[in-house]
Structure 1
Amino acid sequence: MATIARTTAKVFYYARNFARDVVPQELFRRQLANRLKKARLPDSSVRHRLNYYNKLHDAFVPSANAVRIGKLPFDPTMYYYDLKEFARYFDPALLVDVEFGDIVEVPKVPSIVKDRPIRAQDSNAVIMKLDKFRHFHMPADATAFADKRPSVVWRGDLNNPIRTRFLDAVRDLPFCDAGSHKPNAPVAYSKPYLSIGQHQRYRYIVSLEGIDVATNLKWIMNSNSLCLMPPPTYETWFAENQLEANVHYVPLEADFSNLSERVAYFERHPAQAERIISAANAYCRTFANEQAEQAISLLVLYKYFVLSGQIEPDPEVWRYITG
């Protein structure tokens, strides 16, 4: 259930992006050189992250299905706006392959995506920060770990067998408040809706992947609750594959057989739980520097257009990207 503040933020999101679309786009394109200059931040993590999201090294040719920057698909709208925020600085005739929505396979050609499966050969999936209003909503948490309920909580859609398996595994555990709040959930799995703030009252919050990534992972890691989850198999701009088990989160077995033992352990060792929470919070702060976020986004696209042979690289910018 959306709060007034969240609804207001969504209205502002759409208003701001609509305004960007109606302004003469030439005004943005004139700023490209200056934006690229400012994007060369001295922070080495900028170069590391842009090359992590865009792992391409070799030249390629856009596919026959590629679309012009000036004609990006408008649906889903938030994907369009999040990509157009940075694409509008480039020539509208430039071609790009895009796959909006939940991506469960690596594209056959280099494509802009929101997420990709975690595997060795994934360079064709070029990640941009798409659908960020939903996925990067990380509200603050004012309640200390020690002051929370010593229980486990999970809510979500039963759109993945993993989630049903989890509910079956914990149904008889008295310290678990887990279920689905969706109207179509079977009665045996049905539980009332909980807001993020209500989740944050629990010491332990479980994160489970759905069709692709777990949407709740980011706000859990930004809270003062301990994140418990199986190791991720998909990643987004949040770079889930770089999360370390027992450093940023508590790993769960595929059958969830270790959940009781893990909760009991951290109830006896709260300082260790707080250490993991602190590391998770620090990881989330990686994405709080808006200057860096914008620089990386622009450079990810720039690298894509250079390697696709559509832009002659500026020597300074390309030296910055390649190191």
Structure 2
Amino acid sequence: MTPKALLNLRRRGLEKKYVSQQDYIKQRVGYYIKLDRSFRLPNEAVSIGRFNHKGQSQYVIDLMSVMRFFPDTFRFLYHFGDETHIEPYPTIFKARPIDGDNENSIIMKLVTYRHFRFVEDKKDFADKKDLAVFRGAVTQPHRIRFMEQMFDHPLVDAGQSNQSDSHPEWKKPFMSVEEQLDYKFIICLEGNDVASNLKWAMSSNSVVVSPKMKFETWFMEGTLVPGIHYIEVKDDWSDLEEKLSFYISNPDEARKIVSNAHDYLKPFRDEDLEELVSIKTLETYFSLSGQLTR
């Protein structure tokens, strides 16, 4: 319900605040919308004023909080949910594949309450348990393989949150985020798309452990560097023990990864900057689709 005049003042204020970071903002926008050519939207594209999606309210709230800066007549395509397929027309998604031809998937910051949580971790890496922890639903084949291989490993405390008829022993009691912060390593496993615990894990003083990531969101997971921002292990987990043992014996090396992860997170924790990057991403989308003259 905020008048467009006030929203325009808000946008101009953000642009003035971050005038020295224009190059960084352009870099971010160029990552989320990789298209460098104009395009036409099909007839089924919906206008902002007629957008009336029922269900999945967090997607709607997050998207419309940015759409409100633009005229109600502007049209767009969207796809909500944990989907990573590529549409034939430029479409707004939460996530997309890191590799391959993904330029028709336009990334916006969606489902922020689940994917963009951060923690304030007061415990130093050296004071944590010499273990890796995993808690989460285990339904996808790659998560099942992880449990089959790592459930009884002496360096891993793994448990699933859902019931398992074939492996009832895998079910373990709920473990809060605060309890997981007692572990030196936090395993982040992708689900249908990205790992939902990745952001808060990287904001902790523990080190993220993950196989090579296949999907990316607003967090730009495709730019994370193994050995710099997290520990990357093989898909079959055969090198997990070797890598964990190294960082347990070399805590200063682990602290470097923690520090790099915190530095990577800083821009994403700046809510005003995040809002401006979101606005600029949609601005580019509407410009390339011929609806906005900049």
Fold in common (TM above 0.5): yes
Match of 2:41 in 1: 62
Q: Over residues 99-118 of structure 1, what are the superposed CA-to-partner deviations in whole Å (9 max), with x where a residue is unaligned? A: 11112212221011111111
Taking the aligned partners of 1:283 and 1:37, their CA distance within structure 2 comes to: 22
User: Aligned to 2:138, which of 135, 158, 175?
Assistant: 158
User: Aligned to 1:47, which of 6, 26, 46?
Assistant: 26
Answer whether contact 1:152 1:204 (CA < 8 A) is retained.
yes
User: Aligned to 2:153, which of 148, 173, 181?
Assistant: 173
Task: Give me the TM-score of the superposition, normalised by structure 2.
Answer: 0.93
Answer whether contact 1:154 1:205 (CA < 8 A) is retained.
yes
Q: Over residues 192-214 of structure 1, what are the superposed CA-to-partner deviations in whole Å (9 max), with x where a residue is unaligned? A: 11111111010011111000000
Task: Give me the TM-score of the superposition, normalised by structure 1.
Answer: 0.85
Matched, 1:219 2:200: yes
Which stretches of structure 1, 4 residues or longer, exceed 6 Å deviation after superposition? none
Answer whether contact 1:207 1:227 (CA < 8 A) is retained.
yes
Taking the aligned partners of 1:32 and 1:142, their CA distance within structure 2 comes to: 35
Answer whether contact 2:120 2:203 (CA < 8 A) is retained.
yes
Match of 1:292 in 2: 273
Matched, 1:127 2:111: no
State the AA in 1 paired with 2:275: Q
Match of 2:80 in 1: 100
Query: 1:300, CA displacement in angstroms?
Result: 0.4
Match of 2:282 in 1: 301
User: Aligned to 1:203, which of 184, 189, 194?
Assistant: 184
Query: 1:296, CA displacement in angstroms?
Result: 0.6
Answer whether contact 2:15 2:276 (CA < 8 A) is retained.
no
Aligned length: 291
Query: 1:39, CA displacement in angstroms?
Result: 7.5
Percent identical: 34
Using a 3 Å threshold, how does the CA distance of structure 1 residues 96 and 50 change in structure 2: closer, same or farther?
same
Taking the aligned partners of 2:221 and 2:146, their CA distance within structure 1 comes to: 21
Using a 3 Å threshold, how does the CA distance of structure 1 residues 293 and 157 change in structure 2: closer, same or farther?
same
Taking the aligned partners of 2:61 and 2:265, their CA distance within structure 1 comes to: 23
- Unmatched 5+ residue regions in structure 1? 1-22, 314-323
Query: 1:27, CA displacement in angstroms?
Result: 4.7
Taking the aligned partners of 1:30 and 1:222, their CA distance within structure 2 comes to: 33
Answer whether contact 2:11 2:276 (CA < 8 A) is retained.
no
Bigger drift between 64-73 and 50-59 goes to 64-73
Answer whether contact 2:131 2:157 (CA < 8 A) is retained.
yes
Query: 1:242, CA displacement in angstroms?
Result: 0.2
- Unmatched 5+ residue regions in structure 2? none
Matched, 1:283 2:264: yes
Using a 3 Å threshold, how does the CA distance of structure 1 residues 283 and 302 change in structure 2: closer, same or farther?
same
